């Protein structure tokens, strides 16, 4: 593991945000990404197109929810900063959080329909299903609370009438997880057009999770593109 500088991590956050849009799991400025840095975290700014952002636009915040200075530009953090902060706080090994509005995952979230064990890759979220949270308005403490409940024992969930939330050890890991969950959501929606999918049982998913343990550890360990105070 190597430590990235503050500037390099800011650049990596923007690269990940742009990749999120390029992969079709987000549109415009609606999603947000954060990464841990020392005792603080960095998060994408509110209301600025990622293609127009520079590393200086990324906002550094303390775990108390206070923007840390000096900020070269007076940018506001994403309105979802509480959700990011709370996940990073309760999961000390987590390095990055991603929230987005991918079409298929969001469609299921608007139906308030979780993704069951129709496919073994559902284990990418750390359990036997991918839950859908209760509803709360964006940017609120209530949304953070209901998201944390849905994420209990999981590394991804759907947010009711809203979108997708993922956590991982690194920026690269959280992007991979988000892409896979959206792929699963698309596959599940397609299967539902034909009929009701046959679900894997608890014993079958236990076996999947056991076989996935090494892969999941790779996504969820603290990783190369989180940063310390160096540089």
Residues marked active site are found at: 80
Q: Tell me how crowded residue 46 is: count the other CB atoms within 10 A of its CB.
A: 16
Give CA–CA dist 143/154, Å, rounded: 17
Per the structure block, which two tokens stand in for 161? 């009438």
Mark 54-82 as b/e (b = at least 16 C-beta within 10 Å). Answer: ebebbbbbeeeeebeeeeeeebebbebbb
| Conformational region of residue 112, where left means phi above 0, alpha means psi within -120 to 50, and beta covers everything else | left
In terms of C-beta density within 10 A (0-12 exposed, 13-18 middle, 19 or more buried), how is residue 198 classed?
exposed
- Torsion over CA of 44, 186, 135 and 78, rounded to 10 degrees? 10
Per the structure block, which two tokens stand in for 197? 């999918």
* Residue 178 near residue 25 (C-beta atoms within 8 A): yes
Per the structure block, which two tokens stand in for 88? 């990073």
């Amino acid at each position: 593991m190597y430590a990235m500088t503050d500037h390099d991590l800011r650049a990596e956050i923007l690269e990940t945000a742009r990749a999120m849009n390029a992969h079709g799991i987000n549109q415009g400025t609606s999603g947000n990404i954060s990464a841990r840095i020392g005792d603080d975290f960095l998060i994408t700014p509110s209301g600025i197109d990622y293609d127009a952002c520079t590393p200086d636009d990324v906002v550094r915040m303390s775990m108390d929810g206070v923007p840390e200075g000096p900020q070269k530009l007076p940018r506001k953090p994403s309105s979802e900063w509480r959700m990011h902060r709370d996940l990073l706080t309760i999961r000390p090994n987590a390095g990055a959080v991603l929230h987005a509005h991918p079409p298929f995952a969001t469609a299921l979230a608007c139906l308030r329909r979780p993704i069951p064990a129709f496919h073994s890759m559902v284990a990418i979220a750390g359990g036997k299903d991918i839950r859908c949270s209760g509803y709360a308005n964006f940017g609120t403490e209530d949304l953070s609370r209901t998201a944390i409940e849905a994420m209990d024992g999981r590394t991804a969930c759907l947010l009711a009438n809203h979108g997708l939330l993922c956590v991982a050890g690194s920026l690269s890991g959280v992007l991979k997880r988000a892409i896979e969950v959206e792929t699963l959501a698309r596959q599940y929606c397609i299967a539902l057009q034909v009929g009701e999918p046959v679900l894997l049982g608890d014993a079958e998913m236990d076996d999947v999770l056991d076989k996935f343990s090494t892969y999941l550890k790779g996504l969820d360990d603290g990783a190369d593109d989180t940063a310390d105070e160096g540089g």
